Amino acid sequence: MRIVDLIDKKSVKLNLTSNEKLKVVDELVDLVDKSGNLSDKDEYKNAILDREELSTTAIGEGVAIPHAKNKSVKKACLAAGISKEGIDYEAFDDSLSHLFFMIAAPDGANNTHLEVLSRLSTILMDEDFRNNLIKSTEVDEFLDLINKKENEKFPQEETEEIEDKIVEDNKSTLPTILAVTACPTGIAHTFMAAENLNQKASAKGISIKVETNGSAGIKNALTKEEIEHATCIIVAADKNVEMARFNGKKVIITKVADGIHKSDELIDRALKGDAPIYHSSQSNLSNEVSEEKEGLGRQFYKHLMNGVSHMLPFVVGGGILIALAFLLDDYTINPANFGMNTPVAAFFKTIGSQAFGFMLPVLAGYIAMSIADRPGLAVGFVGGVLASAGYTFANYMNYSSDTAISAGFLGALLAGFVGGYVVLLLKKLFSYLPDSLEGIKPVLLYPVFGILLIALIMLAINPIVGAINTGLNNFLASMSGTSKIILGTILGAMMAIDMGGPFNKAAYVFGTAQLTVVNAGPEQFAIMAAVMIGGMVPPLAIALATTFFKNRFTESERKSGIVNYVMGLSFITEGAIPFAAADPIHVIPACVVGSGLAGALSMAFGCGLRAPHGGIFVLPTISNPIMYFVSLLIGSIVGALLLGVLKKPLDKIK
């Protein structure tokens, strides 16, 4: 379905009057309603807002495409609006949004809204086209521009006979370079990366074919013949795509953002053949050696982050519910039973503890799955449970009924990696079985033998890892004075060094791991408090600097700085990334000093945090909350002052 077929003239407004995100949503919903295709405007608006809660639909470059699929929509339609001044729609590149397209799709199995999204994302990559739309003075002119661009990018479909002839003719001119694009949501960024790769290749006179792995499925799929003919393949993806088909080919593996912003560089690399040969783990060709050797550190980090990313929802959700239980309980009733003394507190504590209890099994399970694919999940999950429980052989040999010592986070980490490689070993061993047994491997052989082996391994190593874990916890519990402050400084600084990168994640994982300690004491909770305050300081320091040192920042940066107040208070360190990326020499040192100071002060004042997230919103659950807020304020002010000193005024930069 073509874009212009979905737009009613009454649903186009060339001078939006709103200046805030929520207000522009109201204005666009009204435009959709004018088409007569909504049975319940409020319900559709709520669907739009629910989608925005997941992630912003501002795709950058001044464009926003809010969309919703809902039963209140009678017929698929599209509204469009222009803001000459621009509106902050929380775009990932911090740009103001000028062009708005709101998509309404009826509930059901069809994927009309995804088709429209992909078409819009593609044609709006053209900067001249976007500018011409913004300059439109008449609705007819606006629609005519879209129609012409759509005809250019998506010519009317010809008959099947002509299409078959074109396919046949093209067999002699197969593309030199192939590409695959995919993002986690499979909507805008997938198609933006594909369009940019196509544009750059076309500009260089290079033939390319790009497969998109979107929410509506795989489009423009690469054929076996095209893969065999290609000199190089670019995989710009932030999620798993089918890779076994590329065995023996030169493959560049990168993130989808590089497909958007570094497409020119990727095309040049592909032309030069500057890529390793991909060797699929599913291949049994023993005489081939893969030239694609990821460093051990990168492999470890990739697998660990797969586990951590799946673990965090359990940690955050469960941890905050547990913290609420302590907030709502009465300590004086029974100090030994704090958190469970009142019915309301007991409810939150029980639910939170159940959710939090999944942390270690999920961590281990998804690390193993990252290593060995789906067969690794059950094996890693069981290994994580055994590590958490601390079972040993002594439990089953009548030595003692109380020999279990939890191996904690370290044990679950080990279980994930061991479980993953155990499954890889089983895959290798079972590869010699007859092909007729292929179907029973994932449902019988891998789980039975994998779970048995990981159980034997974990029962053997749990005493050792448990002892290490206990020793580490005892050491942390014994820390006091200077040693506590030094640890707080280090953890706070780590949160600001790369703001979401390996150092940040290492500190955060260390902090959340302390919350899993059985009968955790004040020192364990103090570590989490220092970690969170260290992550809150960078956005707040930048927000303060953009407010009080305006001449150091551009107008766009000052507007983005205001958003960082909210992000900092919400413990979203990533709000500082655009500033750090634009000026790392000045921004990062200032943030590191501010975060390190805040972490040290938090430790010095004995602040403790039972929740792994929440920022200022969980302040009531923090022990010594007033001094925690003072520590946050001091760290943020020091970071802002340093940033003001280090950055030169814009009018003095030559």
Q: Which residues are catalytic?
A: 67, 183
How big is the chain, counted in residues?
654
Whether 233 contacts 177, CB under 8 Å: yes
What separation in angstroms does the CA of 96 have from each of 99, 284, 360, 550, 573? Answer: 9, 52, 41, 19, 21
Residue matched to tokens 């099994």: 361
Q: How far is CA 246 from the centre of its chain?
A: 26
- Strand, coil or helix: what is 312? helix
What separation in angstroms does the CA of 217 have from each of 285, 291, 344? Answer: 31, 31, 45
Per-residue HEC secondary structure of 296-311 comes to HHHHHHHHHHHHHHHH
According to DSSP, residue 277 is labeled B
Of 41, 154, 149, 143, give the one whose Cα is nearest residue 101.
143
Q: Which two tokens stand for residue 125?
A: 């990559």
Q: How far apart are CA 602 and CA 485, in angstroms?
A: 8
- Stretch (H or E) spanning 514: helix 502-515
* Cβ-proximal residues to 428 (8 Å cutoff; 6+ apart), any chain: none
Whether 590 contacts 643, CB under 8 Å: yes
Concatenating the DSSP letter of every residue in 216-240 gives TEEESPPPHHHHHH-SEEEEEESS-
Question: Integer distance in angstroms from the first to the last C-alpha of the chain?
Answer: 52
Q: How far apart are CA 599 and CA 491, in angstroms?
A: 7
Kind of pairing, strands 63-64 and 177-182? unpaired
Whether 421 contacts 486, CB under 8 Å: no
The shares of helix, strand and coil residues in the chain, as percent rounded to the nearest 5, are: 65, 10, 25
444: left (phi > 0), else alpha (psi -120 to 50), else beta?
alpha
Q: Which amino acid is at 599?
A: G
Q: How far apart are CA 652 and CA 551, in angstroms?
A: 10
Of 311, 300, 312, 310, give the one whose Cα is nearest residue 417.
300
Q: Give the chain's radius of gyration (CA, Å).
A: 28
Per-residue HEC secondary structure of 122-166 comes to HHCCCHHHHHHHHCCCCHHHHHHHHHHHHHHHCCCCCCHHHHHHH
Q: Which two tokens stand for residue 207?
A: 């033939």
What separation in angstroms does the CA of 20 have from each of 88, 90, 164, 576? Answer: 7, 10, 50, 22
Q: How far apart are CA 115 and CA 105, in angstroms?
A: 11
Whether 514 contacts 507, CB under 8 Å: no
Q: Is 222 exposed, middle or buried (0-12, 13-18, 19+ CB in 10 A)?
A: buried
- Strand, coil or helix: what is 46? helix
| Long-range contacts of residues 126-130, Cβ cutoff 8 Å, at least 24 apart | 127/61, 130/61, 130/62, 130/63, 130/98, 130/99
